A and B are shown apart, each in its own frame.
Chain A
Amino acid sequence: GVTQSPTHLIKTRGQQVTLRCSSQSGHNTVSWYQQALGQGPQFIFQYYREEENGRGNFPPRFSGLQFPNDSSELNVNALELDDSALYLCASSLLLAGAMITQYFGPGTRLTVL
């Protein structure tokens, strides 16, 4: 399955944070989402075969990496209070642009004080 670490995290404004995701074996795509309380997930970006190939309306201080060993990272620099949210990663198998399967992780709850 898809796992994320840590489960919860508390940071202060201006700090940097790295969130981690372990994808489903055999999947070639990982997407990251930010979900504020009471809202639907918002697409941050997507990595396909270790390269970013899609991005939502998030500033460059949100960056990511995808590694060949089914792991990936979301990095956020210069944290702001509004970055407090649940961060979800989704592992997918894309073939010819079509999503065959997709599984979400349980999320990391980030609180910025």
Chain B
Amino acid sequence: SQQGEEDPQALSIQEGENATMNCSYKTSINNLQWYRQNSGRGLVHLILIRSNEREKHSGRLRVTLDTSKKSSSLLITASRAADTASYFCATGLSGSRLTFGEGTQLTVNP
């Protein structure tokens, strides 16, 4: 079964707006990662945040992690049409493999 659950399932915004996606998980984790999947392509690793970190930035991406609430959020600032994709969170436990959520479909309208 999938551990990570993304919210919302779908998000449609205008170019230039910020997009926020959330992920909740059930068990303790070692790290949490976000991946992007363009239509018809494989997943691409975006960013990893470790369980002892609270926030991480990479370009226009900002990820937060709240281990007490077992949740994470991915913020994409100043969105572009090219950001249109599905975004997945994946949770990792030391010594185990990644478990992926079901994804948020983001549509950025030009």
**Chain A partners chain B:** no
Binding site for A on B (CB under 8 A): none
Binding site for B on A (CB under 8 A): none
